Amino acid sequence: MRTPVIAGNWKMFKTVEESREYFRTFQPLGQKEGVETVLCVPYPSLPELVEAARETDIGIGAQNMHWEEEGAFTGEVSPTMLKGLHVSHVIVGHSERRTHFAETDESVRLKTRSALDHGLTPIVCVGETLEEREKERTRDVVRNQVVQALKGLSSEEATQTILAYEPVWAIGTGKASTAEDAGEVIGFIRQTVEEQFDSRAAERVRILYGGSVKPANVDSFLDIPDIDGGLVGGASLDPETFGQLVSAASARRERP
Ligand SMILES: O=C[C@H](O)COP(=O)(O)O
């Protein structure tokens, strides 16, 4: 049985003061039985939120990191620095990083490897653009991104990652993929993990859907057995709305 994950990605929103305020409301809403809740927040808010979440089950994650422990990499943050703050998760290879900051499959692989080496759970994002979907290249693109990101890991390490399927055309657009479509691609990702590793890894790895997830559509995604939760952007910015998504994932266990 895979524990569902509801992970928020605040992107470049919220000052430290706003983060503090948010967490006061969110703390009771974010801790629900049978759900792993994670908030991936901007670097400046990490110390404050790690401290606020210390006695809770809510994980606090970063949205990116460099793979090296230290070096002349102006503006970058290392896994050692994140670990020193007791950060638990890190998003790797988000499409916004691939598009705007030249993230490549190779840098995604290095970051995934490094996160695991430093005891951080990588949330590895994959997904096709609209153009790739229209050319019916979704499976090729997604398979390649998964295989490259997980290359060189052991089967056990692969199960420690969290994968997130985020079709680029569904991010921040309000146009979510249909649950059936997302389920089909996520099933395909699971099959890819099986081919790359083994059936145990495929059965155990958590794979999330991301792209315009909100309270009105979250159940449709959670009802698909292959979908283990959501990576949520816009709808994670309001604590009550995000809390509703956590509750929905908790209720999932009670569904037939
Ligand atoms: O990381 C989160 C995704 O980019 C989804 O963002 P969104 O929920 O605003 O579409």
Q: Is 172 in the pocket of ligand 1 (CB under 6 A)?
A: yes
Summarised one tens digit per residue, pLDDT across range 47-78 is 999 999 999 999 999 999 999 999 999 999 99
The verdict on whether 100 is a catalytic residue reads: no
169 labeled binding residue:
no
CATH fourth-level superfamily of 37-252: Aldolase class I (3.20.20.70)
Q: What pLDDT does residue 177 have?
A: 85
**78: β partners:** none
Q: From ligand 1's centre to the CA of 8, what distance in Å?
A: 8
Residue of 163, 178, 174 whose CA lies nearest to 230:
163
Mutate to test the pocket of ligand 1, among 38, 103, 175, 213 (most ligand atoms within 8 A of CB): 213
Task: Identify whether 180 is a catalytic site residue.
Answer: no
144 is in an annotated binding site: no
Question: What is the band of 253 on the pLDDT scale with cuts at 50, 70, 90?
Answer: low
pLDDT digits (tens, 9 = 90+) for 101-152: 999 999 999 999 999 999 999 999 999 999 999 999 999 999 999 999 999 9
End-to-end CA distance of the chain: give it in Å, rounded.
14
Q: pLDDT value at position 180?
A: 95
Chain centroid, CA 214 distance in Å: 15
ipTM score of the complex?
Answer: 0.98
Mean pLDDT within 9-36 = 97
**Which is the closest atom of ligand 1 to the Cα of 11?**
1
Quick one: which of 25, 133, 32, 40 has its CA closest to 92?
40
Domain coordinates in residue numbering, the chain: 37-252
Torsions phi, psi of 154, nearest 5? -80, 165
Per-residue pLDDT of 174-183, as tens digits, reads: 888 899 999 9
Whether residue 229 is annotated as binding a ligand: the answer is: no
Q: Beta-carbon neighbour count of residue 200 at 10 Å? A: 13
Which atom of ligand 1 is found nearest the CA of 173?
A: 10
Q: Whose CA is nearest to atom 8 of ligand 1?
A: 233
Task: Check if 210 has its Cβ closer than 6 Å to any atom of ligand 1.
Answer: yes
Say how many Å lie between the CA of residue 251 and the centre of ligand 1: 22
Q: Is the separation of the CB atoms in 245 and 232 below 8 Å?
A: yes
Nearest CA to ligand 1 atom 7: 233
Q: How far apart are CA 63 and CA 82, in angstroms?
A: 11
CA distance 115 to 4: 21
CB 218 within 8 A of CB 256: no
Give the pLDDT band of residue 254 (cuts 50, 70, 90): low
Nearest CA to ligand 1 atom 6: 233
pLDDT digits (tens, 9 = 90+) for 29-48: 999 999 999 999 999 999 99
Is 160 a pocket residue for ligand 1 (Cβ < 6 Å)? no
Question: Annotation-wise, does 152 bind a ligand?
Answer: no
